[in-house]
A and B are shown apart, each in its own frame.
Chain A
Amino acid sequence: DVKVTQSSRYLVKRTGEKVFLECVQDMDHENMFWYRQDPGLGLRLIYFSYDVKMKEKGDIPEGYSVSREKKERFSLILESASTNQTSMYLCASSGQANNYYGYTFGSGTRLTVV
C-alpha cells in the first residue's frame, strides 16, 4: 500500500509565524499535491509538483510556497501565517500520468492560526 505521511495531525501557530508542513510518500510517485479543505468549499489545490525541484501553482497559491528537494518529500510553507489560513491541509500523491488511478492522501494536518 502507498503510504503518504504528514508530519503533524494538529498544529497551532501564531499569526506571523513561518510554518512548515511536511509530506513524505514511500512509493516513488512523481506527482505530489497540497490541498486545503474548508467547509462548504471542498478541496482546493494550493501547489503541485510532478518532479524533483519542479513546482506549479494551483488555484490558491497566495501566501504559500513549496519545496521539493527529494522525490519522496513535498513541503508546504506558510511564509507568514494568518488566521485565514486556518484549515485542514491535505497532501496527496499519484504515480500515473494523468492521475489515472486517483490519488492517495495523507492523514491531513489541521492547522489553527491564532
Chain B
Amino acid sequence: RKEVEQDPGPFNVPEGATVAFNCTYSNSASQSFFWYRQDCRKEPKLLMSVYSSGNEDGRFTAQLNRASQYISLLIRDSKLSDSATYLCVVNGGGNNDMRFGAGTRLTVKP
C-alpha cells in the first residue's frame, strides 16, 4: 500500500463546477498536511496547509479526518486557471518524512 494515495483522476469539469479530491495516508503518526498545486512542467507550489479543524481560503476548503486518515480538498466555482495537478502531502514528523501523493489532474473546461 502506498503511504499517500490520491484519487487517480483525471477530473474534467466545466467552469463553475464544484470538485472534490480525496487523499488517504497510512502513517497514523502524521503531524502536518498540505495540498500543493503543480502546473504542467512547473514546480509544486503550496496551495494550503490543512488543519485539524478544517480551513478555507476563498474557493478552496481543506478538511482533515484523523480517525479515518484522509484529507480532502474542495474547489468551488472552478475557474479555467484551476487546471493543474493537485498533490496531497503528508508529513510524518521527521525532517525527511514528507510523503507525496502521485497527484490528481484537474482540467476545467469552458
Please report A residues at the B interface, Cβ cutoff 8 Å: 31, 33, 35, 40-43, 45, 48, 50, 56, 58, 90, 97-108, 110
Contact = CB atoms under 8 A, between A and B. Distances in A.
A90 B89 CA distance: 15
27 contacts: A35-B100, A40-B102, A41-B102, A42-B87, A42-B101, A43-B87, A43-B100, A50-B95, A90-B43, A90-B44, A97-B95, A98-B93, A98-B94, A98-B95, A99-B95, A99-B98, A100-B31, A101-B49, A102-B32, A102-B34, A102-B36, A102-B46, A102-B89, A102-B91, A102-B98, A104-B46, A106-B43
Given A43-B100, A48-B96, A99 B32 contact: yes
B1 interface: no
A45 B96 CA distance: 8
Most buried by A among B87, B94, B96, B102: B96
Contacts of B36: 102
B105 to A, nearest CB: 11
Interface of B: 31-32, 34, 36, 41-46, 49, 87, 89, 91, 93-98, 100-103
Contacts of A100: 31-32, 91
Contacts of B95: 31, 48, 50, 97-99
A107 B42 contact: yes
B102 A42 contact: yes
4 closest cross-chain pairs (CB), A and B: A42-B102, A105-B43, A43-B100, A48-B96
Contacts of B89: 102
A100 B96 CA distance: 12
Contacts of A43: 44, 87, 100
B73 to A, nearest CB: 15
B103 A105 contact: no
B75 to A, nearest CB: 19
